[in-house]
Amino acid sequence: MKRKISLSINGKPYTDEVEPRLLLIHYLREVAALTGPHIGCETSICGACTVMLDGRAVKSCTMFAVQADGREVVTIEGLAANGTLDPVQEAFWNEHGLQCGYCTPGMIMAAKQLLADNPNPTEREIRHGLEGNLCRCTGYQHIVNAVKSAVAKAGV
Amino acid sequence: MATTITKPESLVGKRVRRQEDPRLITGTATYLDDIKMPGMHHACIVRSPHGAARIRGIDTKAAGERPGVVAIFTGKDIAGLGAVPCASSLPGLRVPHHHLLAQDRVYYVGHPVAVVVASDRYIARDAADLIEVDYDPLPAVTDPEKALAEGAPAVHPEWPGNVAFTFHQDGGNVEQAFAEAEVVVKQRITSQRLIPTAIETRGVVAEWRSGEHSLTLYSSTQIPHLLRTLVAGILGMPENKLRVITPEVGGGFGSKLNVYAEEALMAFIAQRIQKPVKWVESRRENFTCTIHGRGHVDYFELAAKRDGTMVGLKLKLIQDLGAYLQLLTPAIPTLSVLMMPGIYKFKNISADITGVFTNCVPTDAYRGAGRPEATHGIERMVDILAAELGMDPVEIRLKNFVGNDEFPFATATGLTYDSGDYAAPLRKALQEVDYAGLRLEQTKAREEGRLMGIGISTYGEICAMGPSPALPAGGWESATVKIEPTGKVTVMTGASPHGQGEETTFAQVVADELGVPMDDVLVVHGDTAVVQYGIGTFGSRGTAVGGAALFYALQDLKAKMKKFGAMLLDSSSVTLSGGHCVDPQSGKSVSFGEIATAAYHAKRLPPNTEPGLVATHFWEPPNFTFPFGAHLVVSEVDRDTGEIQIRRYVAVDDCGKIINPLLVAGQVHGGVAQGLGQALWEQAVYDDNGQLITGELTDYALPKAHLMPWIESSHTETPSPVNPLGVKGVGEAGTIGCSPAVVNSVVDALSPLGVRHLDMPLTPEKVWKAIEGGKA
């Protein structure tokens, strides 16, 4: 029994009939044809699927698409406005905060949430703020540098 | 035309941000699961829940009736196809026939038994649950030492005893060395099974074009060309009808340096159903079915003089192979033997490897692949010897290092170390931490009852894999450079990078050699229809072998460009600099773009010169390279909880010449994180029945951001004479240098309690027990 959902993704309206069991990550990737949010574990551990739901970072692999009905989703694709990178994206680039890039969209969304909650975090706060997102390439140090650098750019 | 040509600033050695990043930070890169095709179907694999069992029957009826299911395949359907290949050969090696799907028996949890193909991935998964497999469970064995014991269950019934191979190597005269030694220390040291855990799991898309009888296979792999050759072999199809495309790869660390059953299965299925088919591994499948790393039990004996001079080393190495031999499974422990003397000058060794079958997923190359095990062993043994003799671990290392005047240095294991200054990184690390001051602080801490430790590892590694005689299928690498008619440059590298950043470092090399802006250079890789044959990225070889091939291709092109430049300038001799050809006599010049246009328009040609500006170079390295370094760890252990705090982590690595310090730092950090993971947290745990207890990320302790210490990374730079770039490779250094430094530090902290050795991972429970044991 499919259900009709309507939601906004990166400012665009979407309406689709979906199975109630369809995961939000599969909706975003298979139905809305996005490539930014990734699937890494399906158990809410790795955070590669992190997106913003009504302004809060969530792991889209462990919620259903129907739970996003009537809500607003922002993915990594929605960050760069008119071709200008978000300062956090720019900082990840400048500081080499990624290698294979697979965790990066989720990591950047988690970093956005962290900075929204705490615009001037300490290194310890950055590390704890990102502990729900796994990266196997960088050892996290350049990611920490990227967040620090985004803070410095914002002039907080 | 006379102009002043200023040579642009060299980019090699500069901190340059990466060319590949814009697509990655915007979510617009194409990874395997982003590939979609009209009519694409989805496969789901039914896998064994048992470590060992006989298959009495498979009932696929209910699954087949499920709407949307188009095909189901079981062992009988693929019995005529080739096996999953093992490319390693050792004398007497027992290679089980590794069918793509289980036949009448399963050998490990996760063993593929059936494949369901459906129009949708949810339907495929539903249908897989409807397949009934009737198993007759059998006794399993998962511990390699238990597998060797009398009466152990035979993993493969035809080979009771579970020995796949034995391998002996010696050098010098180890028996005489031990007879003349004044002290011998012995220790059993394990390097536990690890799960590589690339954040992107494996995945395959296969597309059959019936009109052309050709197949395109997309796979998240480190070795597109080798995969093409080997899958063509499994399927019995002409290699030139198979195209392998590697999309963006989300991490490999060795786990994608392989040929897996699913790659051949999807290629086979796409032909059978005449539709594109996709399979993407779940995380649980990734943990149970993609290769694991390490899995050593090592018995070391180190012989020395009382003054600390090491004279000989013996090793009995038990390698947990798992149930099957994947591409390089049996070769990995032989790399451990090659590096067992570390960077010390003693010349007497003996090693005996026993490769053991267990009811586990196969082990194979995981970051470091045999060398972390070797380095962990020798660096632990050096510390155990130092403790035995009451010597400082620094002093004993300095006494035994190969000297700077001894390169090239022939080792007891038959290698030739290319270049080195082994004391330099150690001295630098000591200076950075004020070693003497730290030891004083430690004395004071001990007086206060605190458990503070200082641990050092001075590692050497064998990289830039490698000369062809040392590898099963070629150790060279290839590069093609095309200067397009507009002067843009396209590089095609046979190395297939997946996060290492060669799209950037190679562009830096090209920019310096040709004098063009980096942004004019495009590096293409990972498509066998576009890129000439190559070997791939593993064994810290991408830049050290692939970059050297690129360098030589560029030299060929530069020579050709100079011929065109000389023709255009009517000169007998020109120089090529800053993107221009210059006649030093007249001062006249022509630009890079003008030469490119002339070479393709070909209105005139220099003598004996063909049109176009394309060069391909296949480069065979004359030797491996041997990076080295010193890692120093200051730790403090909580007496009450056994928790370890890493107070300082200092890494001084010498990877030869550095092309991009930003990327080198990234490699070191990532390598150290994986080394720390092994030292402190990670372990693949199987129970006695063959269940993988750490079967999800919920149970396998991967390093997280808040657990990592700040890594103080710096370098010494000793160029390698092996390749023209002077680079040595840095992909695995962090992992190799890390674990012994951590364990040496913690054992040092606990040494007042009489603790002499601890095996990894150093969980709080294990450390707490050691503390409690020490008190008693």
Contact B27 A41 (CB under 8 A): no
Residue A155 Cα, gap to closest chain B Cα (Å): 22
CB contact under 8 A, A137 and B666: yes
Residue corresponding to tokens 């890390």: B738
Q: Does A146 touch chain B (CB under 8 A)?
A: no
Interchain CB distance below 8 Å, B33 and A38: yes
Output the pLDDT for position B4: 55
∠ CA B172-B176-B177 to the nearest 5 degrees? 75
State the span(s) of chain A assigned CATH 3.10.20.30.
3-78
Query: Is B194 within a domain?
Result: no
The answer to whether the beta carbons of residues B118 and B699 sit under 8 Å apart is no
Residue ending a domain, choose from B589, B619, B649: B619
* Helix, strand, coil share of chain B (percent; to 5): 30, 25, 45
- Which pLDDT score, from 0 to 100, does residue B6 have? 60
A&B contacts, CB < 8 Å: 178
Structure tokens at B720: 């390698």
Domain span at B547: 21-28+476-619
Of B29, B31, B669, the CB nearest to A141: B669
- Residue ranges of chain B whose pLDDT lies below 70: 1-8, 774-776
Chain A residue at shortest CA distance from B710: A141
Residues B82/B232, Cβ–Cβ less than 8 Å:
no
Q: Is the peptide bond before B764 cis (omega within 30 degrees of 0)?
A: no
Cα gap A75→A50, rounded to integer Å: 8
Task: Note whether B85 and B219 are same-domain residues.
Answer: yes
Report the pLDDT value the prediction gives residue B472, as an integer from 0 to 100.
86
Domain assignment present for B188: no
Does A89 sit within 8 Å of B25, measured CB to CB? yes
Residue B429's pLDDT is 98
**Closest alpha carbon to B365 in B262, B256, B249:** B256
Nearest to A39 among B33, B249, B696 (CB): B33
Q: Does A96 touch chain B (CB under 8 A)?
A: yes
Last residue of a domain, one of B586, B619, B652: B619
Which phi and psi angles does A61 have, rounded to 5°? -85, -15
What b/e sequence results for B689-698 when a residue is b if at least 16 CB atoms lie within 10 Å of its CB, and e otherwise? ebbbebbbbe
Q: Residue B16 falls within a domain, yes or no? A: no
Q: Does B519 share its domain with B649?
A: no
Q: Quick one: chain A helix, strand, coil %, rounded to 5?
A: 40, 20, 40
Residues of A in contact with B711 (CB under 8 A): 139, 141
**CA distance linking residue B86 with residue B326, whole number of Å:** 5
Q: Which residues pair with B59 in a beta bridge?
A: B132
Instruction: Give B288→chain A minimum CA distance, Å.
Output: 13
pLDDT for residue A82 is more than 90? no
How far separated are the first and last CA of chain B, in Å rounded?
88
**Is B155 a domain residue?**
no
> How close B22 comes to chain A (CA, Å)?
8
* B504 conformational bin, left if phi > 0, alpha if psi -120 to 50, beta if neither: alpha
- CATH number of the domain where residue B416 is located: 3.30.365.10
CA-CA-CA-CA dihedral for B28, B30, B34, B35, to nearest 10 = 130
Residue of B nearest to A142 (CA): B666
Looking at domain A3-78, does it have CATH number 1.10.3720.10?
no
pLDDT digits 0-9 by tens, B629-653: 999 999 999 999 999 999 999 999 9
**Are B499 and B588 in the same domain?**
yes
On whether both B225 and B265 belong to a single domain, the answer is yes
Name the minimum distance, in Å, from the CA of A115 to any CA of chain B: 16
Residue B167 lies in a domain: no
Q: Are residues B75 and B224 in the same domain?
A: yes
Cα(B37)–Cα(B32) distance, rounded to whole angstroms? 12
> CATH 1.10.150.120: does it fit domain A87-154?
yes
Return d(Cα B762, Cα B642) in angstroms, integer: 9
Helices then strands, each counted (H, E), chain A: 5, 5
| CA atoms of B550 and B509, how far apart (whole Å) | 8
Query: What integer pLDDT is reported at residue B776 of this predicted model?
Result: 44
Sign of CA dihedral B584, B600, B517, B511: negative
Tokens of B522: 């495009």
Q: Between B18, B24, B708, which is nearest A140 by CB?
A: B708
Q: Which residues pair with B650 in a beta bridge?
A: B632, B712
Dump the DSSP string for B137-192. Answer: E------HHHHHSTTPPPSSTTSTT-EEEEEEEEES-HHHHHHH-SEEEEEEEEE-
B354 in a structural domain: no
Distance CA B175, CA B182 (A): 13
Whether omega before B761 lies within 30 degrees of 0, making that bond cis, reads yes
Residues B453 and B534 occupy one common structural domain: no
- Contact between A66 and A12 (Cβ < 8 Å): no
Are B671 and B703 part of one and the same domain?
A: yes
Q: Are residues B44 and B119 in the same domain?
A: yes
Q: Of the candidates A42, A96, A134, which has its C-beta nearest B666's C-beta?
A: A96
d(CA B539, CA B253): 9
The two three-digit tokens of residue B536, written as one number = 């791939």
> Is there a domain that residue B386 lies in?
yes
DSSP B686: B
The answer to whether residue B389 sits within a structural domain is: yes
Rounded distance between C-alpha atoms, residue B140 and residue B156, angstroms: 11
Within 13 Å of residue B301, how many CA atoms lie on the same side as its CB?
16
B439/B489 same-domain check: no
Cα–Cα distance between B701 and B699 in angstroms, integer? Answer: 6
Does B652 lie in the same domain as B748? yes
Cα gap B278→B699, rounded to integer Å: 28
DSSP label at residue B53: E
Residues of chain A contacting residue B648, judged by C-beta atoms under 8 Å apart: none
- Quote the number of domains for chain B: 3
How close A33 gets to chain B, by Cα (Å)? 9
What pLDDT, on a 0 to 100 scale, did the predictor assign at position A133? 98
Closest alpha carbon to B227 in B96, B79, B327: B327
Element of type H or E holding B650:
strand B644-654
Least confident of A13-22, A93-102, B575-584, B599-608: B575-584
d(CA B758, CA B649): 20
Tokens describing residue B91: 């004398």
Please indicate whether, in this complex, the C-beta atoms of A38 and B672 are within 8 angstroms of each other: no
Those residues with Cβ within 8 angstroms of residue B281's Cβ, 6 or more apart along the chain or in another chain: B201, B202, B203, B262, B289, B290
Considering only the C-alpha atoms of chain A, give the largest distance between any 2 of them, rounded to a whole number of Å: 52
For residue B76, what are the contacts with CB-CB under 8 A and spacing of at least 6?
B103
DSSP string covering B300-357, please?
EEEEE-TTS-EEEEEEEEEEEEESS--TTGGGHHHHHHHTTTTTB----EEEEEEEEE
> Pick from B150, B541, B83, B159: which is nearest to B321 by CA?
B159
Contacts of A81 (CB under 8 A, 6+ apart): none
> Given a cut of 90, is residue A150 above it in pLDDT?
yes
Residue with tokens 């942004």: B519
Q: Which residues contact B264 (CB under 8 A, 6 or more apart)?
A: B81, B82, B84, B100, B231, B234, B235
pLDDT of residue B8: 66
One domain, residues B601 and B649: no
From-to residues of CATH 1.10.150.120 in chain A: 87-154
The pLDDT of residue B1 is 46
Angle at B291 between CA B288 and CA B294, to 5 degrees: 110
In sequence order, the β-bridge partners of residue A72 are: A8
From B595, B619, B643, give the residue that closes a domain.
B619
Q: Are residues B614 and B637 in the same domain?
A: no
